[in-house]
Amino acid sequence: MQSKLRDREALFKTVDKQRVAANFSRAAETYDSAAALQKRVAARAMLGVPAGFQPERVLDLGSGTGSQTSILKTTFSDAHVTGVDLAMGMLKHASSQELDASWCRGDIESLPFKNDSFDLVFSSLAIQWCELETVLSEVRRILKPGGLFVFSSLAKGTMVELNQAWQQVDSHVHINGFDPFSLQQQKVSNSALQQRSLMLQQETLYYPSVLTLLRELKALGVNTVHSAQQGLTTRARIQKLEQAYESSRTEVGLPLSYQVIYGTLVN
Ligand SMILES: C[S@@+](CC[C@H](N)C(=O)[O-])C[C@H]1O[C@@H](n2cnc3c(N)ncnc32)[C@H](O)[C@@H]1O
């Protein structure tokens, strides 16, 4: 029983990067219109940059459609801003907007930049599919001394309602696993970066139906991104999911919670 649970937990956390890239590439045209929470989170993460900070070189890790890269360029107009992402579709979309920024395909866990390259590394809702220790070590390597890493990410408990509803339908892993906040705090304090701030905040969205919720996740490219085999999402299974999710319904609709981490670290 214990080892079955461990296997499931491991599967829950196994991320298939090709699938991450394919899902986000497919969502490049629909992402911005569905990303209300993501925009709010990024704006809040951005508050982690201290007033008066004047970076010369800025990197947006997991830059997606480039919406935050664009804000970084507006905020730090004299800086050279680069967006890096795994998903070719996202990069194509971002680069078609004639923003004064450079674009680069790359993996956050193995960044294609030299040591001491950036004054500010920003990242919103992208590092949660990576191994945090590797991300912190890569970010430290490419940050100049005194440089800042300002980010948002996700912790365990994210989409708990959807996960619980799926568990009543079948035994597949449908939701990506995220480490608990306490474990991520520990990884940050074990890293060579110094912690200026690190906090957790819950955000809950409400939907009229399971179908609107699933459609929004698909538009965002946030389909399941682990490497497990999944069955087909048949109408019968969706109906089961709808029934299971009803037990969580509130006056304002079906809840979907996000456990959002905000951090500012210094090299
Ligand atoms: C939820 S979107 C966020 C995009 C943008 N930061 C924003 O706030 O709108 C996550 C982005 O991270 C990218 N991503 C996920 N894992 C990555 C990795 N290992 N390396 C580079 N990019 C990654 C995805 O392709 C996607 O574009």
* One pLDDT digit (tens) per residue for the chain, 267 residues: 444 444 444 444 567 888 899 999 999 999 999 999 999 999 999 999 999 999 999 999 999 999 999 999 999 999 999 999 999 999 999 999 889 999 999 999 999 999 999 999 999 999 999 999 999 999 999 999 999 999 999 999 999 999 999 999 987 777 778 999 999 999 999 999 999 999 999 999 999 999 999 999 999 998 754 444 455 568 888 899 999 999 999 999 999 999 999 999 999
Which helix (H) or strand (E) segment holds residue 41: the answer is helix 36-46
83 lines ligand 1 (CB under 6 A): no
Cα 3 to averaged position of ligand 1 atoms, centre (Å): 32
Please report the pLDDT score of residue 224 as a whole number.
57
For tokens 């009229």, name the residue.
208
Predicted pLDDT of residue 171: 78
- Residue located via tokens 């395909």: 105
Enter the DSSP assignment of 138. Answer: H
Please report, for the chain, the start and end positions of each structural domain, with discontinuous segments joined by +.
Answer: 2-156+176-205+258-266
Q: Is residue 12 within 8 Å of 161, Cβ to Cβ?
A: no
**Rounded distance, CA 163 to CA 38, Å?**
20
State in Å: Cα 93 to ligand 1 middle.
13
Q: How many residues does the chain have?
A: 267
User: Which residues have CB under 8 Å from 125's CB, separation 6+?
Assistant: 38, 41, 42, 62, 152, 153, 154
Is the distance from the beta carbon of residue 76 to the nearest atom of ligand 1 less than 6 Å?
Answer: no
For ligand 1, atom 15: residue with the closest CA: 126
Q: Quick one: which atom of ligand 1 is closest to the CA of 123?
A: 6
Going from the Cα of 64 to the center of ligand 1, the distance in angstroms, rounded, reads 5
Q: Which fold has domain 2-156+176-205+258-266?
A: Rossmann fold (3.40.50)
Tokens 């809840």 correspond to 255
